[in-house]
Amino acid sequence: MIVPLRRLVLQVMLTSCSAFRTSVDNRRNRAPLGDGSPMQGRQMPLLTDRKAHKLSEHGRRGEDGMTSAHSRCRRGSPTHSSPKRKHRSSCQPADHKCSTKKRAGRSLFIEQIFPHVQTTPDYAPLPTQITTHLAVYSYAIINEGDAPAVIQAQVGPDGKHFAADVEETILPGETGVIAIARFLRFTRLAIRSLHADKPTTVSVYFQAQTVR
């Protein structure tokens, strides 16, 4: 009685094992690969020619963009605009005061020449110079004759009335310089012979300097 029961149990177990093995084989054979090897799940969809062309074109553009960016970096060209530097003034108004220096003006040279003037026994005035805006001015007298000459500098306020300022005697063959001691708007020289019977010849140079 026990032996047939064991046979029945063994037969049921063998039947169930064979059925399970058959179902597993059927599942494996449902989705075969191209090379004949079984694979569980769904099969991967294949790319069409148009999609593959688009993907390759997109990849090529990406490579070109990376190459151009890399070349720009190698050439040193900036990828973004750098902020402009603000001009910094040399003066700092917060704590320091600006030191302003006036530029020196140009000097202007003025010259008048009175050549070969013949002396007389009385004072003979030369043309008047307006010395209002002159910073420095003086007279040079060259005695070209054989007798001494007396030179007198005269200053005046209106060009008509003059007063004696400096007087000097220039010997024959010498050169004298007369600088004005007092200032008025108009200046001139008056010349005469030291000896009335001995005239002489002189040349006068008026030289001045003004600053503009």
Which CATH number is 192's domain given? 2.60.120.230
pLDDT (tens digit, 9 = 90+) per residue, 167-180? Answer: 999 999 999 999 99
Other Cβ atoms less than 10 A from the Cβ of 204: the count is 20
Q: How many domains does the chain divide into?
A: 1
DSSP-assigned beta bridge partners for residue 125: 190
Q: Are 163 and 175 in contact (CB under 8 A)?
A: no
Residue 157 domain flag:
yes
Residue 114 domain flag:
yes
Q: Are 184 and 153 in contact (CB under 8 A)?
A: no
pLDDT at position 34: 47
DSSP for the chain? -HHHHHHHHHHHHHHHHHHHHHHHHHHHTTSB-TTS-B-SSPPPPPPPHHHHHHHHHHHHHHHHHHHHHHHHHHHT--SSPPPPPPPPPS--TTT------PPPPPEEEEEEEEEEEEP-SS-EEPPPEE-TT-SEEEEEEEE-SSS-EEEEEEEESSSS--EEEEEEEE-TT-EEEEE-SS--SEEEEEEEESBTTB--EEEEEEEEEEE-
Domain that holds residue 179: 107-211
Enter the pTM of the model. 0.50
pLDDT at position 17: 67
As a residue count, the chain comes to: 212
Residue 77 domain flag:
no
Q: Are 113 and 203 in contact (CB under 8 A)?
A: yes
Residue 83 domain flag:
no
Residue 176 domain flag:
yes
Residue 15 domain flag:
no
> What whole-number percentage of the chain has pLDDT above 70?
55
* Average pLDDT across the chain, whole number: 75
* pLDDT for 205 beyond 70: yes
> What whole-number percentage of the chain has pLDDT above 90?
46
Cα dihedral angle (61, 63, 69, 70), rounded to 10 degrees?
A: -160
Residue 44 domain flag:
no
pLDDT at position 103: 54
